[in-house]
Amino acid sequence: MSIIIEILKSNKKILGKVALCKLVEGFFILLAAIFFVKFIDAPTEKFLLAAFGFFAGRFFLSGAAEKFFARLSVDVQTFFRKKIHAQIFGQEISSGELLTLLFDTVQSLDEFFLKVAPQISSAIIFLPIFLIAAAFTDLLTAAILLATLPIAPLLLWLIGRATAEKNSRAWHELQKLNGDFRELLSAITTLKIFGRLDAGAEKIRAASEKSSAATLDVLKLAFVSSFALELMTTLSIALVAVTLGLRLVAGSVEFQAALFLLLLAPEFFLPVRKFGVAFHVMIAARASLERLKNFLRASEEVSGSTEKILMPPTISLDDVSFTYPKKFSPVLRGVSLKFSAGKVTALVGDSGAGKSTLLKLLAGILKPTAGEIFWNELPTSRMENFSRLSKISYAPQAPHLFDAPLGKNFTMFDTLDDARLKKFLSALNMSTLDLNSTQKLSRGQLQRLGVIRALLKDAPIILLDEPTAGLDALTEQKVLALIKNFSARKTIVIATHRLAVIEAADEIVSL
C-alpha cells in the first residue's frame, strides 16, 4: 500500500481537484433536495428550476471527478509498467506469469480507479456532510443513519474473507491459461507438422474452462455481496421512512423536514450500495497490488553491487551450465571460457552447440543453472541489474521491427542524429530506405538494423548473434568494417559460423 500512497502523494493536484468536485457535488445534492422540498411546499417555477439545476450539476461534477480518476489510473499503470520493464530481468518469471502481470494484473488497477475509488471518495466526503445535515434537521433520523451504517463494512469484511481464496484461484487459472496459450502459439508450426494441433487446442480449452469456472465462483460472491448490501440499505431506508411516517402522523416532525430526510436517506446510502457492486473489483485490485509488490520486492532483493569496475571488462565463464525450464538435457554443461577486454572475439561452434544461449547468458536474458559469469573479478550475480544491463548491447539473430517509422527503429536508444544515421545507412547499402515510412524490411536489412542498434547504444559490451548470416560477401565486409571501427574500448563477442567474421576477429573462442 505504501507504493500507492507514494504515487498519490505525487498527484496531489489531481486528488485536490477530486476532493473539490466531490465536496461541491455533496452540497449540490443537499441544495437540490432543499429546493425540491420548497417546490412541493410552495409550487413555483424558480424552485423547480433551481432543484433541476443543482441536480444536473451534481452529475456534471461526478463525471469530472471520474475523469480525474481516469487520469490518475493512467499514471499508476504507467508507473507499474515502467517498474516491471526496468526489473524484468531481475528474476526468473514464466511467460504466463509475465503476461498476467503486465496486462490483467495492471489492468485490474484501472478498474479500481474507475469503479471503486469514486465510491470511496463519495463515501468519505458525502457521509459526514449528509449526517451533519440530518442531525441539524432531526437528531433521531441522524441516529438511525449512524447506527445502521456500520453494518455495511461488517458485511463486506465477512464477504471479503470468503472471496480472497477464490479470487487467488481465479488469478492462478488465468495465469496458467496465458502461459499455455503463449506456448501453443510459439510451437504451433511444430504441432501442425506432427499432427498434434488438436491436442494443443484441447489443452487450451480445458484451461479456459477452469479459468471460467474460477472466475464464475468469484462473480457469484460478488452478486451475493451486492444483494446483501442492497438488502441492508433498503431496510435502513425503510426504517427511516417508517419512523418518519409514524412521527409525521403523530405530529412530532414537520412535513418539510420529513420530506427532506426521505430524499436524503437514499443519497446517504448510495455510495455504500455502489461500493457493494464494485466490491469484487476492489478484492481483485488488492490481490493484484500484492502480486505487483511481491514482484518488485523480489527484484529489489536480487539487485546487488553497484561498485565501479574497469570498462570494457574481461568476461569469463566459470563452470557454467544451463538447462531450459521444463527440459532435462542441459544446453551448456561446465563451460569455462574467457573473452578479452577491448577485443573482437568470434564465438564458433557447431549448429546447436549453444552459441545463442551463451550470448543470452552474457546479455543477462537468461541466468546460469550452475556456475558463474564474471566481469573482470566481479560475479554478475552480485551486480545491480539495471546498471549491468545498461552496459550491454545485444543483437539477436532476428531483430524486432517495432510498429514505428524506420527512423525511430534505428535510433531507439536516442544516441544518433540524422546526419550520422544517414552516414551509417550509406555505409551498409541502406540509404534508399524511407525513414519516415513503416515499410517491412528483408531479412538482410533486419540483420543490419540490429547491428546499427547494438553499435550505437554506446555500451562497453556488444553481443552479436550471427550478424552477417544470409548477407552477400560485399555487404558482409561492410558490416565487419563498421564493427571494427567501433571496436575500440569495447568487448565485442560475435556468435558466427562465417569464415569472413572469424578471419576479421581478434580472437577465436570455440564452444
Of these ranges, 6-20, 91-105, 396-410, 450-464, the one predicted with the greatest mean pLDDT is: 450-464
Mean pLDDT of 10-21: 81
pLDDT for the residue numbered 494: 92
* Domains by residue range for the chain, with CATH: 2-298 (1.20.1560.10), 315-510 (3.40.50.300)
Kindly report the pTM of this predicted structure.
0.56
The band of 79, judged by pLDDT with boundaries at 50, 70 and 90, is confident
* Average pLDDT of the chain to the nearest whole number: 80
pLDDT for the residue numbered 436: 77
pLDDT for 304 beyond 60? no
Which whole-number Å values give the CA distances from 292 to 31, 59, 80, 85, 88, in the listed order? 44, 34, 8, 12, 12
Mean pLDDT of 481-491: 83
Mean pLDDT of 31-43: 87
Q: Which of 292, 347, 342 is nearest to 109 (CA)?
A: 292
Mean pLDDT of 405-411: 76
pLDDT for the residue numbered 302: 47
pLDDT for the residue numbered 83: 75
pLDDT for 48 beyond 80? yes
Per residue in 332-355, pLDDT (tens digit) is 888 899 998 888 999 998 888 888
pLDDT for 300 beyond 70? no
- CA 164, CA 463: separation in Å to the nearest integer? 46
Per residue in 222-234, pLDDT (tens digit) is 677 677 777 888 8
pLDDT for 406 beyond 60? yes
C-alpha cell at 179: 502461459
pLDDT for the residue numbered 191: 77
CA 57 to centroid of chain Cα atoms: 35
- CA 306, CA 427: separation in Å to the nearest integer? 38
Per residue in 115-155, pLDDT (tens digit) is 778 888 888 888 899 999 989 888 888 898 888 888 777 77
Per residue in 419-460, pLDDT (tens digit) is 777 777 777 877 777 777 777 888 888 888 888 888 777 788
Long-range contacts of 295-300 (CB under 8 A, 24+ apart): 295/84, 295/87, 295/91, 295/93, 295/101, 296/3, 296/83, 296/84, 296/87, 298/90, 298/91, 299/87, 299/90, 299/91, 299/385, 300/87, 300/90
Per residue in 152-207, pLDDT (tens digit) is 777 766 666 666 666 667 767 766 777 777 777 777 887 788 887 787 788 888 87
Q: Are 32 and 54 in contact (CB under 8 A)?
A: yes
